[in-house]
Amino acid sequence: MMKEGAPWEANPTSRDRELTLQACGKINLCLDVVRRRPDGYHDIRGIFQSISLADEVTLRVTLGGRGIHLRCDHPGVPAGPTNLAWRAAQLLLDRLNGEAGVEIHIVKRIPIAAGLGGGSADAAATLIGLRKLLQLPISDGELARLGRELGADVPFCLRGGTALAEGIGDLLEDIPCTPAYAVLVLTPKLYVSTAEVFRAFDPGKVDRRPSVEGMKRHLEGSCLPGIAEEMVNVLETVTFPLHPQVAELAERMKRLACGAVMSGSGPSIIGLFADLDGAQRAMAALEGEDVFLWCGHPSPRGVREAT
Ligand code: ATP
């Protein structure tokens, strides 16, 4: 039996096991669209980075219990089987022939439909957390394959850190680096459809493609001016004309930051700063705008156990 929005019990019994995880958001430092595939997806090439802006995902496994119960504090997030965390739990529970039930509680901190991979992060945290709680013998590679069934960004969210992404975003090469910069995220309060942006993408309208290899070198060498110079996202050619407000906010961010770029299909804009003080000053300068603002650091992990 699966119930939506069932009440969250405060005290787990001794037969229950519980774990709280931080599900980190992701930004892209650069993004190129390589080609439209016959299956309708697009091959991309870009650099993904986890950030410490994270949802909190609490999982409770009820041994002998049944079904999935999900609760989220954000009214815009589905509490049923279309939630990516629910689908992730279902994939793992299917292996147990109904011998366990799962309660999922999501505290949403990553803005939704913002180009920050929030749903994928919740799915990744659910996969990692349930593998541990249910003591399932699933390798990291197999978990990534399961994650890909849920969404192109889930394999990255499982690994986290800094990676060069190809394919639909699921072919990943870790980039060894220690990011020495702070991040400011600005998310305008408007809806951008990822599918619509990719559908409308026209390579003929792109006048500058990112140098992904160049960005990789600058990351490995911790060269912030070089990183800033390579911050290019070809999807800006679709989202900016559709939403001029996003283009204007990107211009403001560019004036305040070392480098700025749109994340994913938008509408979030990312600014990089030499330190957190600089990011906080820019955040204060943008505070009058009706936007979501967050500043912090890159994260070396996609999913972390809460301490
Ligand atoms: P994408 O580019 O894949 O759309 P995104 O990062 O821009 O990703 P998400 O925050 O993942 O956007 O949300 C996209 C949509 O997915 C939302 O509109 C929401 O209805 C649905 N969704 C499903 N599960 C979740 C979840 N756990 N958190 C947020 N949204 C979810």
pLDDT at res. 15: 57
Other residues' Cβ atoms within 10 Å of the Cβ of residue 269: 29
Instruction: Give me ligand 1 centre to Cα 23, in Å.
Output: 13
Q: Is 85 in the pocket of ligand 1 (CB under 6 A)?
A: yes
d(CA 91, CA 124): 12
Q: Is 26 a catalytic residue?
A: yes
Q: How far is Cα of residue 24 from the mean position of the Cα atoms in its chain?
A: 7
Other residues' Cβ atoms within 10 Å of the Cβ of residue 7: 9
Dihedrals φ, ψ of 113, to 5°? 45, 50
The CATH code that applies to domain 176-296 is: 3.30.70.890
d(CA 278, CA 291): 19
pLDDT at res. 16: 67
**DSSP at 3:** E
Query: What pTM does this model have?
Result: 0.93
CATH 3.30.70.890 maps onto the chain at: 176-296
Instruction: State how far the alpha carbon of 69 is from the alpha carbons of 80, 104, 156, in Å.
Output: 8, 6, 26
CATH 3.30.230.10 maps onto the chain at: 18-173+301-305
- Closest by CA to 299, choosing from 218, 154, 179, is 179
Among the atoms of ligand 1, which is closest to the Cα of residue 72? 27
Q: Is 68 in the pocket of ligand 1 (CB under 6 A)?
A: no
The CATH code that applies to domain 18-173+301-305 is: 3.30.230.10
Three-class SS state of 240: helix
Best mutation site among 112, 154, 189 for ligand 1 pocket (most ligand atoms within 8 Å of CB): 112
Q: Is 267 in the pocket of ligand 1 (CB under 6 A)?
A: no
Q: Is 210 in the pocket of ligand 1 (CB under 6 A)?
A: no
Dihedrals φ, ψ of 20, to 5°? -115, 135
Nearest CA to ligand 1 atom 3: 117
Q: Is 153 a catalytic residue?
A: yes
d(CA 58, CA 22): 9
- Closest by CA to 179, choosing from 285, 284, 291, 258, is 258
The encoded tokens of residue 276 equal: 């957190």
Nearest CA to ligand 1 atom 31: 119
| Nearby residues of 212 by Cβ (< 8 Å), 6 or more positions away | 30, 32, 45, 46, 47, 164
- The total number of residues shown for the chain amounts to 307
d(CA 92, CA 118): 20
pLDDT tens per residue across all 307 residues of the chain: 333 333 334 444 545 699 999 999 999 999 999 998 888 889 999 999 999 999 999 999 987 778 999 999 999 999 999 999 999 999 999 888 777 899 999 999 999 999 999 999 999 999 999 999 999 999 999 999 999 999 999 999 999 999 999 999 999 999 999 989 999 999 999 999 999 999 999 999 999 999 999 999 999 999 999 999 999 999 999 999 999 999 999 999 999 999 999 999 999 999 999 999 999 999 999 998 899 999 999 999 999 998 7
Q: Is 175 in the pocket of ligand 1 (CB under 6 A)?
A: no
Q: Is 119 in the pocket of ligand 1 (CB under 6 A)?
A: yes
Instruction: State how far the alpha carbon of 245 is from the alpha carbons of 15, 114, 132, 170, 292, in Å.
Output: 52, 15, 44, 31, 14
